[in-house]
C-alpha cells in the first residue's frame, strides 16, 4: 500500500477517534510530505464542527497551567478537548512542558483529552500549515474544543493563533514593569484578555494597567461590536476559570451570529489558502534550492557573488525544470 493510500485510510480511523491514527496523521502532516496532502484535503472537508481557541502570551505567563485548568473544567462539562501546543523546542526542554504537566495530572488516561506538542525549531516555514492541519484532525476526531497554544512573540506564531475562532492573550504579574503583551505586540489580537496568577499580591496592578491600556486603545480604535473581557485567573485558587469559560462561550456565539464573525472565518480561510500555496510552492522548489545552494555558499561567503543574483539563477534553472513536477502526486488531488 502506498503512503498516500495509507494516509487516506488513516482518515477513517481518525473519524473513529483512534488515538494512534490521530498521532500518525499529525506526524505525517508535520513532515509536509506530498503523499499526505490527499488525506489532509479530506480532513479539511470533514472538519468545521469544533470551536478553536487560540491561546498565547509571553514565556512565563502561565499559559500551559491555564490550558490544563481550562481543560479540566471543559471536561467536567462533558466536552472533549484537543490541545495543540506549539513549543519553541530546545535540547534542554525538548518542548514538552505542557505534555509533562498534563501527563502528571488526572487527565493522563482520559480519552476525552488529546495533547500534541509541535516544535517550531527546524520547521521550515510549514509550521502554520501543519498546526492548522493538526487542529482539523482533532476536530474530525470528535474533539468539541481544540486549544491551540503558542508563545506569542514570533510573527508566525502570532499568525497561527489569530487563525482561531477565539483568541485569548494571557498576561501575568511579575514579568517586568510594563504590560508584556504590548512589547510582544499581541495586545490587539485578543478577543479575551486573561491576567493569570491572580493569587499574587501584585496581580491587581497588572489588571489595572491592562484595563487602562485597553481603554486608551479602544478610544483610538474603531468601536467594535464585541466588548473585550479582562478575566483575572488563578490556577492555585481556581479563581476566574468559570468566568473565562463563560467569556469563551459568549465569544463563540458572537463569532457564529455576527457579521464580524463571518468576516473572520473568511479571513482565516484566505490565510489558510495563502499559507498552503506558499508552502506548496516552497516544497516544489525547496529541495532543488537547498541542493544547489550548498556549493554556491562559499562564493557568497567570500562576497564574490550576491544572494540576489545567485537566488535568481537558482530559481530560473529550477523553473525551467518545473514541467517534470507535473507528475507529482500533489497535482492529482485537484
Residue 37 has φ and ψ, to the nearest 5°, of: -60, -40
Using an 8 Å Cβ cutoff, are 97 and 87 in contact? yes
Residue 301 has φ and ψ, to the nearest 5°, of: -60, -40
212 binds a second copy (CB under 8 A): no
Q: Which of 93, 212, 215, 237 binds a second copy (CB under 8 A)?
A: 93
153 binds a second copy (CB under 8 A): yes
Interface with a second copy in residues 242-301 (CB under 8 A) = 265-270, 272-282, 284-286, 289-290, 293-294, 296-298, 300-301
**Nearest residue (CB) to a second copy, 145 versus 171:** 171
CA 212 to mean position of chain CA atoms: 29
Q: What share of the chain is helix, strand, coil (3-state, %, to 5)?
A: 60, 10, 30
Q: How many CB atoms lie within 10 A of CB 55?
A: 25
Interface with a second copy in residues 28-87 (CB under 8 A) = 37-38, 40-42, 44-48, 58-60, 87
Q: Which of 185, 215, 253, 287 binds a second copy (CB under 8 A)?
A: 185
16 binds a second copy (CB under 8 A): no
Sequence-ordered list of residues with C-beta below 8 angstroms from that of 306, at least 6 positions apart, any chain: 300
The least CB distance from residue 111 to a second copy, in Å, is: 26
Region of 68-76, 99-107, 184-192, 251-259 interacting with a second copy (CB under 8 A): 184-192
Angstrom distance (rounded) from CA 180 to CA 174? 10
Taking the CA atoms of 99, 143, 131 and 267 in sequence, report the sign of the dihedral they define: negative
Q: Which of 6, 96, 228, 310 binds a second copy (CB under 8 A)?
A: 310
Angstrom distance (rounded) from CA 132 to CA 298? 37
209 binds a second copy (CB under 8 A): no
Sequence-ordered list of residues with C-beta below 8 angstroms from that of 1, at least 6 positions apart, any chain: 9
**Nearest residue (CB) to a second copy, 223 versus 308:** 308
Maximal C-alpha separation, the chain: 65
312 binds a second copy (CB under 8 A): yes
**Nearest residue (CB) to a second copy, 74 versus 275:** 275
Q: Which of 19, 174, 246, 249 binds a second copy (CB under 8 A)?
A: 174
**Nearest residue (CB) to a second copy, 204 versus 309:** 309
**Nearest residue (CB) to a second copy, 23 versus 310:** 310
Q: Which of 120, 167, 206, 233 binds a second copy (CB under 8 A)?
A: 120
Q: Which residues pair with 147 in a beta bridge?
A: 53, 83
Amino acid at each position: 500500500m502506498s503512503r498516500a493510500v495509507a494516509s487516506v485510510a488513516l482518515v477513517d480511523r481518525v473519524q473513529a477517534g483512534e488515538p494512534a491514527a490521530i498521532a500518525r496523521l499529525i506526524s505525517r502532516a508535520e513532515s509536509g510530505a506530498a503523499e499526505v496532502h490527499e488525506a489532509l484535503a479530506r480532513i479539511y472537508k470533514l472538519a468545521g464542527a469544533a470551536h478553536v481557541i487560540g491561546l498565547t502570551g509571553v514565556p512565563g505567563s502561565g499559559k500551559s497551567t491555564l490550558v490544563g485548568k481550562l481543560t479540566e473544567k471543559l471536561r467536567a462539562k462533558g466536552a472533549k478537548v484537543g490541545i495543540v501546543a506549539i513549543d519553541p523546542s530546545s535540547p534542554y526542554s525538548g518542548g514538552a512542558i505542557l505534555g509533562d504537566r498534563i501527563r502528571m495530572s488526572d487527565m493522563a488516561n482520559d480519552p476525552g483529552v488529546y495533547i500534541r506538542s509541535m516544535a517550531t525549531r527546524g520547521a521550515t516555514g510549514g509550521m502554520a500549515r501543519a498546526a492548522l492541519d493538526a487542529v482539523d484532525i482533532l476536530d474530525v476526531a470528535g474533539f468539541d474544543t481544540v486549544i491551540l497554544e503558542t508563545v506569542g512573540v514570533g510573527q508566525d506564531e502570532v499568525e497561527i493563533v489569530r487563525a482561531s475562532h477565539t483568541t485569548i492573550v494571557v498576561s501575568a504579574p511579575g514579568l517586568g514593569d510594563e504590560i508584556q503583551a504590548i512589547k510582544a505586540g499581541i495586545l490587539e489580537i485578543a478577543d479575551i484578555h486573561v491576567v493569570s496568577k491572580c493569587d499574587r499580591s501584585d496581580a491587581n496592578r497588572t489588571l489595572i494597567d491592562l484595563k487602562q491600556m485597553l481603554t486608551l486603545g479602544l478610544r483610538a480604535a474603531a468601536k467594535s461590536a464585541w466588548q473585550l473581557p479582562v478575566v483575572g485567573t488563578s490556577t492555585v485558587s481556581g479563581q476566574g476559570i468559570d468566568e473565562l469559560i463563560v467569556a469563551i462561550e459568549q465569544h463563540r456565539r458572537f463569532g457564529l451570529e455576527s457579521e464580524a464573525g463571518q468576516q473572520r472565518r473568511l479571513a482565516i480561510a484566505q490565510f489558510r489558502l495563502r499559507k498552503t500555496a506558499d508552502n506548496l510552492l516552497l516544497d516544489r522548489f525547496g529541495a532543488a534550492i537547498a541542493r544547489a545552494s550548498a556549493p554556491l555558499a562559499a562564493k557568497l561567503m567570500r562576497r564574490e557573488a550576491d544572494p540576489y543574483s545567485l537566488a535568481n539563477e537558482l530559481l530560473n534553472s529550477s523553473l525551467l525544470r518545473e514541467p517534470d513536477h507535473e507528475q507529482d502526486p500533489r497535482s492529482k488531488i485537484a
